[in-house]
Structure 1
Amino acid sequence: MHRHSLRSPAIGVTVALAAGMLVTLSAPTAQAAAGAILPFTSVEAESATTTGSKIGPDYTQGTLASEASGRQAVRLAAGQRVEFTVPRAANAVNVAYSVPDGQSGTLDVYVNGTKLAKTLAVTSKYSYVDTGWIPGAKTHHFYDNARLLLGQNVQPGDKVAFQATNTQVTVDVADFEQAAPPATQPAGSVSVTSKGADPSGQDDSTQAFRDAIAAAQGGVVWIPPGEYRLTSSLSGVQNVTLQGAGHWHSVVRTSRFIDQSSSSGNVHVKDFAVIGEVTERVDSNPDNFVNGSLGPGSSVSGMWLQHLKVGLWLMGTNDNLVVENNRFLDMTADGLNLNGNARGVKVRGNFLRNQGDDALAMWSLYAPNQGSSFENNTITQPNLANGIAIYGGTDITVKDNLVSDTNALGSGIAISNQKFLDPFHPLAGTITVDGNTLVRTGAMNPNWNHPMGALRVDSYDSAIEAQVRITNTTISDSPYSAFELVSGSGRGYAAKNVTVDGATVRNTGTVVVQAETQGAATFRNVTATGVGAAGVYNCPYPTGSGTFTLTDGGGNSGWSSTWSDCSTWPQPDQGNPDPDPTRNLAKGRPATATGSQDIYTPGKAVDGDANSYWESTNHAFPQSLTVDLGSTEAVRRLVLKLPPSSAWQARTQTFSVQGSTDGSTYSTVVASQGHRFDPATGNTVTVSLPSGTNLRYLRLHVTANTGWPAGQFSEVEAYLTS
């Protein structure tokens, strides 16, 4: 969720198959039970044929596998390929991929073994986003999307392959689509080219668009096939339709399309692409497709929106707005946010992939959102917050959506009283959450040091007084809990008036119900299978703040047990880590120590920032730092660092390296000896581990330091390579 003046973390038919795979089967004539009717069919790279290597599944924040669809992808070195079997008639493809930071290249494209003259450009330009002002955020947003008209028709069963040429490429998923031919100009419309717009994209077409809008009041502005470059935003847009020939054909290149604080309304934007150049997130910049208001009675449909900060950041009056059948790809912040005073808004049938914050959000700042809904949307891979987030508002509906693969700071759906700024309008009336499907949603919150559930009810800044009705929910393969009731501020506000009626929970990693604040909820007709640890975790925080009353309304099965120890959190199986031998296995992993000094806590040694550091309790040798790598690994090399600043004088630390596979019995891997850290050589020490070393728990046992009376490490890195 993007905010202008204060930033806090907001944190066809679709079939869920085995854990790690999500395949979307689309047909324009059948309504999906949950999610959007999509004009394309998605195929996961890990289910294709490849000469590369599969990565994942992994749920660890900050890895390629954890941000991938299905938590799995395929890594291609130069010369390697992945070959998809085409699932439907198609003439176009969109590929979700990642390349290493700072690199760009191409994928060669083959159809039934024949190389096309066209290539697919791949780049890291829009990826690797850092949001250091957001607590718990790490470098994220690794993936990007690239699309291509094949220039020919392919049929079901044909083979389409992508081969890396000059850089490593991780391929996640391919969307195959039959793109319609360009539409023809509507009678009586005003073409932007008649006002001087350049369809080659060379000249600035901003003024031509403005002149066409002024000339077409009450009518249609036509955007013919071509690419048009705008260098500043449009304003004063009202009582007009902006229409293209289809988003595969009419493309506007700009990072700021409409920016206006008010409009009389009746604005309809449809059937073209707006592709920006946003490469970093700057919350004070209006780098959005729509920033502000379209006015009452408006609509946005058939759009392809990509490489912007936010798709639609809506303020002011937008009563009865309809946003439907659009694609939101690769935003650095939210996909869409209704920022107060949204009445009767319907957001439906949209596809959202790889948003950098909440994919869809309603935030009731200044005035409540009222009577608005998110319905039948398909959301995948929001990489820093929730799939759907409702922050306050009155009589809101979240219905028949499909959300998958949330990461880092988010749930699949969050119903919350987190206000961020005042004046905020908390949840009121009836909040209806019905018919939603959540697949692999929920994530470890590094700020809380424990997880968020697939569906979260959060009394963050005030008690929940609204009636929250959660019905007919399907939750599959949640890495942690299914339903979470929490006061995320840690102040113990009550989460009450919650009813969960009719839910199917399959393969939840820890518990079905994660109750962490005072309050009350009734659960009925909730069936669970494959529960990881126990049915219920009921441990309100702060301790002694109150109790959470869970009422069995009848019809529940498969989750009657209760986690008995509130001092510990149940740990799920987190899957297989990324097998990339160049990956630092210790980065972002849980770290503990025998002691730490002030703010210099153990996690600072594995946070990826060489300027922050762990420092043990002073004057209390010996001290040790332990990192849980998550699974037993054949570690061959450690890279240990102190801050690179020249203010750190050279010093020698004496320590041994110890290892364990179970966390209780440790053996010495490298005997104790002195290691010199010198700013002149980067304050870095490399320690080789003997061949045959296998460990999950890595421990550095420090007995002396010539530069300070404590153990100190700014980064502890572990690698499979020697």
Structure 2
Amino acid sequence: MAVAAVTAATLGLGVVPGGTALAGTGAAGASTPAATRAVPVVTRAALDPSLVAGRGADVGFAEQEAENAATDGTVIGPDRSAYTLPAEASGRKAVKLTPGQHVEFTLPGAANAITVRYSIPDAPGGGGITAPLGVTVNGGGRKTMTLTSQYSWLYNQYPFSNDPDAGLLHPEWWITECACVPATTTPPPVITTPFRPNHFYDEQRLLLGRTYRAGDKVRLTVPAGSNAAWTVIDLLDSELVGRPHVDLVAANVLAFGADPFGKRDSADAFDRAIAFAQRRHLNVYIPPGTYQVNRHIIVDNVTIRGAGSWYTIIKGREVALPVPAPDGSVHTGVGFYGKDAAAGGSRNVHLSGFAIEGDVRERIDTDQVNGIGGAMTDSTIAGLHIRHTKVGMWFDGPMTNLRITDNVVVDQIADALNFHTGVTNSVVSNNFVRNTGDDGLAMWSEKTANANNTFDHNTVQTPVLANGIAVYGGTDNTVSNNLIADPIREGSGIHVGSRFGAEAFTGHLRITGNTTVRAGTYELNWKIGLGAIWFYALDKNIDADIRVVGNDFLDNTYNAIMLVSDWPVKDLYSITNVHFKDIRVDGTGTSVVSARVKGGASFENVDARNVGAVGVNNCGSFNFPSTGSEFSLTDLGGNDGGGTTGPWLAPWELPNTITCDDRPPVVAPPAPSPW
């Protein structure tokens, strides 16, 4: 990180469950006097940075959780129950302010910019409100941020609604809350609205206008007259932003009519600058400013560079199309797109140094309203900041050799990034992702396999739905050295899935050196806990050579490792040839391994502690034959530790003793600590 990290260990502070360091011992839900919280606590994914050293993205900002700051507000959480404000907060805790209250952060290093992650209420009928937040530093430099809930607060069943009073979108679906299919139930069940509210948070960035020093105090105050009944502050990121990049030789978009004040649409001016740059073999330069762009900018054989993502902002409205596009889109919006793969795709595209801000407030899966899209071969994407689009980056191959590095993707309706079909030999590295509405990073091998790709040293925090990192089929792919924190529902930290029509796993899959924290979520429909890493054989067998090596699974809400199939296919598909080695499991609410499928896996040097239930919950395929479970565990040695029930991999459990407790009691583990 670019600033010195002051950690809980350095300060000698206590650490509460959930991995959050606190100054003082105020109970959850109580306010804590400012005098007890004057020393800054810098975290990574709400953890002491020493616990995740070498994992995740190396970012230029310092993360400070609001619950560690000085406040006269109320700490909410910890809580991991879906559809609650604490559950969607980083570290599962935040600070709730009413008008007149504040939270004050002490800067750990020099900074001239901040990012505030927050939540405010929805409008009574949906659609969001705006509300002010005062910002001062050392009592001066007064600024006002205008917060909004227009891009948050979704409701109901997938693909969700903006209407808090809406009836069920799919009354023919099974509903856990009533344990019924409403359309076939007489009398129909009463479903309380708003039904399943979620996606509560958003974030905003602010340049402070000057550089402040370590020890200066940034106070966020809700004005006494705010129209927001409450404001929840989750965290503050502080950063020292460098000067704008200037390129005097490139094709400057201003020369082609672009408006840096955002009053006129600049899309046509961008097109002219790109065409000129292609003819003259120049780069395109976008100077500081906010540029209105309300459609896709098609890019091919071009380098486009902004002044930096804090200075060059490409911002657009979502625009309804007069007739649906051939791909099914009913809207368009701001985005940089390579040509369609069917038309040959684009090559030699290089995008860097600007922000993309969309206007997507609902999920329509057919809409191409992504920040980056299309097919881009031999290309690079670096140093972008993308928010409020449907998917930050969605690629439809075939395409090859794409490098995606050093980007920030936040506040998405769906994924942050998806390699969708036929993406090969590509790398996603050192990117920071927060608050996605679906998988943070995904490889989805629909129709054509993704192959030889790597997701490395990325940070993924608080995916509201689905997984931090997911791999759906494919060949010879790698997930390495990532940090994944706080998945919230219907997914978990790392997912390996034969589902969604994906091509089979072939060759090998390597999952190495990753850390998950506060993962292992509750699966609403199955009514069981998932693993921090979970394998799901729904459409096909999973039988490629899969190596899970050197990973840390910390503070798991339920299981650390799960291998599962669905009931209708429990006798059709299996999971085999998965090898776990050099794994550390620090805290499970239930088991280390939950096996709910036929097949087998091997375990070597898997060390566990603070295990809440029996180490292995082996249900197999639920046929319970007299020969033992249909799932076998192979002990290759060095598997140590456990919990109150004894060694996690007890000799009597091998190779396939049935130890099936379908829903064991959950024992909340202590906070992670040095191994």
- TM-score tier, shorter chain, comes to 0.7 to 0.9
SS state of the match for residue 423, structure 2?
Answer: coil
Aligned match of 1:164: 222
SS state of the match for residue 86, structure 2?
Answer: helix
Q: Which amino acid aligns with 2:546?
A: V
What is the distance in 2 between the residues matched to 1:58 and 1:183? 43
Find out whether 1:211 has 2:272 as its counterpart.
Answer: yes
User: CA-to-partner distance for each residue in 1:304-326, whole Å, 9 max, x for gaps?
Assistant: 00001001110023301000000
- Once the 2 structures are TM-superposed, how far is the Cα of residue 178 of structure 1 from its aligned partner? 0.4
Cα distance change of structure 1 residues 224 and 131 upon mapping to structure 2, 3 Å threshold: farther
TM-score of the two chains, using structure 1 as the length reference? 0.74
SS state of the match for residue 447, structure 1?
Answer: coil
Aligned match of 1:369: 450
Segments of 4+ moved more than 6 angstroms: 13-17, 562-565
1:461 maps to which of 539, 551, 558: 539
What is the distance in 2 between the residues matched to 1:542 and 1:331? 38
Q: Which amino acid aligns with 1:430?
A: H
2:76 maps to which of 38, 48, 55: 55
Q: Which amino acid aligns with 2:308?
A: G
Whether the aligned pair in 1 keeps the contact of 2:116 and 2:235 (CA below 8 Å) is yes
SS state of the match for residue 488, structure 2?
Answer: coil
TM-score of the two chains, using structure 2 as the length reference? 0.79
Aligned match of 1:570: 664
- Once the 2 structures are TM-superposed, how far is the Cα of residue 186 of structure 1 from its aligned partner? 4.5
Aligned match of 1:142: 200
Whether the aligned pair in 1 keeps the contact of 2:497 and 2:537 (CA below 8 Å) is yes
- Once the 2 structures are TM-superposed, how far is the Cα of residue 243 of structure 1 from its aligned partner? 0.5
Aligned match of 2:497: 416
Whether the aligned pair in 2 keeps the contact of 1:468 and 1:497 (CA below 8 Å) is yes
Find out whether 1:555 has 2:555 as its counterpart.
Answer: no
Aligned match of 2:471: 390
Cα distance change of structure 1 residues 198 and 417 upon mapping to structure 2, 3 Å threshold: same
Q: Which amino acid aligns with 2:315?
A: R
SS state of the match for residue 507, structure 1?
Answer: strand
SS state of the match for residue 66, structure 1?
Answer: coil
What is the distance in 2 between the residues matched to 1:472 and 1:352? 23
SS state of the match for residue 274, structure 2?
Answer: helix
What is the distance in 2 between the residues matched to 1:73 and 1:212? 45
- Once the 2 structures are TM-superposed, how far is the Cα of residue 403 of structure 1 from its aligned partner? 0.2
SS state of the match for residue 255, structure 2?
Answer: helix
- Once the 2 structures are TM-superposed, how far is the Cα of residue 25 of structure 1 from its aligned partner? 5.9
Aligned match of 2:555: 477
SS state of the match for residue 563, structure 2?
Answer: strand
What is the distance in 2 between the residues matched to 1:163 and 1:52? 10
- Once the 2 structures are TM-superposed, how far is the Cα of residue 544 of structure 1 from its aligned partner? 4.4
Whether the aligned pair in 2 keeps the contact of 1:427 and 1:466 (CA below 8 Å) is yes
2:130 maps to which of 75, 97, 104: 104
Cα distance change of structure 1 residues 131 and 314 upon mapping to structure 2, 3 Å threshold: farther
Q: Which amino acid aligns with 2:637?
A: G
1:355 maps to which of 436, 440, 463: 436
User: CA-to-partner distance for each residue in 1:201-254, whole Å, 9 max, x for gaps?
Assistant: 00010100111111111431110000000121122x111011100000000002
Q: Which amino acid aligns with 2:254?
A: T
Aligned match of 1:130: 155
The equivalences for 1:165-244 within 5 A come to 165=223, 166=226, 167=228, 168-187=230-249, 189-217=250-278, 218-235=281-298, 237-244=299-306
Aligned match of 1:8: none
SS state of the match for residue 147, structure 2?
Answer: strand
Find out whether 1:151 has 2:209 as its counterpart.
Answer: yes
What is the distance in 2 between the residues matched to 1:565 and 1:368? 37
What is the distance in 2 between the residues matched to 1:124 and 1:60? 21
Aligned match of 1:444: 522
1:435 maps to which of 510, 513, 516: 513
- Once the 2 structures are TM-superposed, how far is the Cα of residue 139 of structure 1 from its aligned partner? 2.6
What is the distance in 2 between the residues matched to 1:567 and 1:452? 14
SS state of the match for residue 275, structure 2?
Answer: helix
Aligned match of 1:585: none
The equivalences for 1:282-293 within 5 A come to 282-293=364-375
Cα distance change of structure 1 residues 474 and 574 upon mapping to structure 2, 3 Å threshold: closer
User: CA-to-partner distance for each residue in 1:406-430, whole Å, 9 max, x for gaps?
Assistant: 0111110001111x23xx3111111
Cα distance change of structure 1 residues 525 and 109 upon mapping to structure 2, 3 Å threshold: same
What is the distance in 1 between the residues matched to 2:479 and 2:233? 32
Name structure 1 gaps, 5 residues minimum: 1-11, 577-722
What is the distance in 2 between the residues matched to 1:264 and 1:83? 48
User: CA-to-partner distance for each residue in 1:294-349, whole Å, 9 max, x for gaps?
Assistant: 2x110100000000100111002330100000000000000000001111010000
Find out whether 1:119 has 2:199 as its counterpart.
Answer: no
SS state of the match for residue 310, structure 1?
Answer: coil
User: CA-to-partner distance for each residue in 1:26-64, whole Å, 9 max, x for gaps?
Assistant: 9xxxx9511011000100001111100001111111000
Higher gyration radius (CA): 1
What is the distance in 1 between the residues matched to 2:133 and 2:568? 48
2:357 maps to which of 252, 270, 275: 275
Cα distance change of structure 1 residues 491 and 569 upon mapping to structure 2, 3 Å threshold: same
User: CA-to-partner distance for each residue in 1:146-192, whole Å, 9 max, x for gaps?
Assistant: 110011212222111101121211000110000111111242x1011
Q: Which amino acid aligns with 2:245?
A: A
What is the distance in 1 between the residues matched to 2:617 and 2:574? 16
Aligned match of 1:588: none
Aligned match of 1:327: 408
SS state of the match for residue 424, structure 2?
Answer: coil
Whether the aligned pair in 1 keeps the contact of 2:334 and 2:356 (CA below 8 Å) is no
Cα-Cα RMSD: 2.1
- Once the 2 structures are TM-superposed, how far is the Cα of residue 99 of structure 1 from its aligned partner? 0.5
What is the distance in 2 between the residues matched to 1:142 and 1:386? 18
Whether the aligned pair in 1 keeps the contact of 2:588 and 2:668 (CA below 8 Å) is no
User: CA-to-partner distance for each residue in 1:118-158, whole Å, 9 max, x for gaps?
Assistant: 21121111001236236779331110011100112122221
SS state of the match for residue 366, structure 2?
Answer: coil
What is the distance in 1 between the residues matched to 2:566 and 2:649? 26
Whether the aligned pair in 1 keeps the contact of 2:136 and 2:143 (CA below 8 Å) is no
Whether the aligned pair in 2 keeps the contact of 1:416 and 1:427 (CA below 8 Å) is no
Cα distance change of structure 1 residues 467 and 197 upon mapping to structure 2, 3 Å threshold: same
Whether the aligned pair in 1 keeps the contact of 2:591 and 2:615 (CA below 8 Å) is yes
Q: Which amino acid aligns with 1:560?
A: L
Report how many residues are paired: 554
User: CA-to-partner distance for each residue in 1:73-110, whole Å, 9 max, x for gaps?
Assistant: 00000111011111111100001100011232111112
What is the distance in 1 between the residues matched to 2:276 and 2:100? 53
SS state of the match for residue 288, structure 1?
Answer: coil
User: CA-to-partner distance for each residue in 1:610-656, whole Å, 9 max, x for gaps?
Assistant: xxxxxxxxxxxxxxxxxxxxxxxxxxxxxxxxxxxxxxxxxxxxxxx
What is the distance in 1 between the residues matched to 2:92 and 2:581? 29
Name structure 2 gaps, 5 residues minimum: 9-14, 21-41, 46-51, 124-128, 160-172, 176-194, 317-332, 642-647, 671-675
Whether the aligned pair in 2 keeps the contact of 1:272 and 1:303 (CA below 8 Å) is yes
What is the distance in 1 between the residues matched to 2:115 and 2:267? 28
SS state of the match for residue 270, structure 2?
Answer: helix
Aligned match of 2:101: 80
